[in-house]
Amino acid sequence: MRTQVAIIGAGPAGLVLAHLLARAGIDAVVLERRTRDYVEGRVRAGVLEQGTVALLAELGLDARLRAEGLVHTGTNIAYDGRLFRIDMAALTGGSTVTVYGQQEVMRDLFDAAEARGVRILFEAEDVAICGIETDSPSVRFRRGGSGHTLACDWIAGCDGFHGASRAAMPADVLKVFERVYPFGWLGILAEVAPVNHELIYANHENGFALASMRSPTRSRYYVQVGLDERIEDWSDARFWDELAVRLGPEAAAGLERGPSFEKSIAPLRSFVAEPMRHGRLFLAGDAAHIVPPTGAKGMNLAVSDVAMLAEALVRHYRDGDPSGLDGYSERALARIWKAERFSWWFTGLTHRFPDMDPFARRMQVAELAYIRGSRAAQTVLAENYVGLPLA
């Protein structure tokens, strides 16, 4: 088997890349360890930046997104029993975000794949990356009980944080930067109307809470929990009570409760691996970096990485110009580090840290009060939240 670009992983990074390459007439094969149902079933991101929506529109993959996605012109912050709104559109010259679940994005990408010649091999196991320092790299894998080799020009490692691609980079080449946070997010989905028509990020003495949604009838809520907490200890009743306390009386007024049908705990981490290219191997998305979810940057970064990578591959194949590929890592990392900074800062502003003393708590509240009263501070938040330009 031979292709121009072997893509490992059919998450948002891998599949958006495959669609971008297919549109440009570049041959690619996606190798995915799991089944389509598994990938599509994972409840993860919910908020799309303006640029992510624009890219999906450019690919003509936005019909359902336009019909069902919820465009938000603002977001809200609750603290100390107060609630204030940040008018993102007014502060950024009209930019917005769109609430549309990662599951829906994946469904749209998968549904369009076959007709557009996007080739995906599901249940490709034991992927091994070979020859990245040579001109003839390949990927070996097992599928349907037998071994296969996919020869290619380039390998795109889009296989997430626990994938094989980053591990295939020589240890002496890779630099890793990391913060592990001493808490996680417990998230639920429930078939109830959202408490508010926009998101609410809440800072409370007990810890962070987030009110989000998937549709006008489906809510997505999160509360910060300790790393030692067990999901079995969080009955729905306990979750709803704690969420109401943390959102505060104003924000929680009208909170509709109901049975949860998804409940999971996700740890929080900041992580960047540099560089994002070695020889014939490129990394993109969670394979190269992780942000804590505060600010909803993870999936959007995966998409902006592959937008840059696809542009570089097109310049290489169409114009014989290698400069895009040579500059990919530096260009992608410049934007990634800004999103890392924003996600780290927004996490620090809104969460309770175990070692927080009364001074640190006062600093948080002072910063929230400052943002509440300052158009300049709100503009900084808004322009990061809607997504920085690709540059």
Question: Where on the chain is the footprint of ligand DHB (CB under 6 A)?
Answer: 45-47, 199, 210, 212, 220, 293-296
CA-wise closest residue to 276 among 318, 334, 322: 334
Q: Say whether 382 sits in a helix, a strand or coil.
A: helix
Pair 213, 292: CB distance under 8 Å? no
Given ligand DHB, ligand FAD, none, residue 220, with its beta carbon under 5 to 8 Å by kind, binds: ligand DHB
Report angle CA 30, 290, 347 to the nearest 5 degrees: 150
Given ligand DHB, ligand FAD, none, residue 294, with its beta carbon under 5 to 8 Å by kind, binds: ligand DHB
DSSP-derived secondary structure for 43-70: ----EE-HHHHHHHHHTT--HHHHHH-E
Q: Which of 289, 293, 316, 317 is catalytic?
A: 293
DSSP 4: S
Active-site residue, 293 included: yes
Question: Residue 18 or residue 199: which is nearer to ligand DHB going by CB?
Answer: 199
Query: In the 3-class helix/strand/coil scheme, how is 276-308 assigned residue by residue?
Result: CEECCEEECHHHCEECCCCCCCHHHHHHHHHHH
Active-site residue, 201 included: yes
Q: Which of 79, 100, 181, 201 is catalytic?
A: 201
Active-site residue, 316 included: no
Using CB under 6 A, which of 51, 69, 160, 292 touches ligand FAD?
160
Stretch that binds ligand FAD, among 240-248, 291-299, 347-355, 379-387 (CB under 6 A): 291-299
CA-wise closest residue to 133 among 175, 169, 174, 171: 169
Question: Residue 227 or residue 365: which is nearer to ligand FAD going by CB?
Answer: 227
> Phi/psi of residue 81, each to 5°?
75, 5
Question: Residue 199 or residue 251: which is nearer to ligand DHB going by CB?
Answer: 199
Pair 302, 286: CB distance under 8 Å? yes
Per-residue contact string for residues 118-147; x = within reach of ligand FAD by CB under 6 A: ------x--x--------------------
Q: Which of residues 293-322 bind ligand FAD (CB under 6 A)?
A: 293, 296-300, 302
Total chain residues near ligand FAD (CB under 6 A):
35
CB neighbours of 231 closer than 8 A, spacing ≥ 6? 186, 263, 264, 265
Using CB under 6 A, which of 23, 24, 27, 34 touches ligand FAD?
34
Active-site residue, 181 included: no
CA-wise closest residue to 55 among 16, 8, 110: 16
Q: Which of residues 254-283 bind ligand FAD (CB under 6 A)?
A: 266
Question: Residue 248 or residue 298: which is nearer to ligand FAD going by CB?
Answer: 298
Strand bridging mode 281-283 / 154-157: parallel
Which residues belong to the active site?
72, 201, 293, 297, 385
* Residues binding ligand FAD (CB under 6 A): 8-14, 31-34, 39, 44-47, 102, 124, 127, 158-160, 163-164, 187, 266, 285-286, 293, 296-300, 302
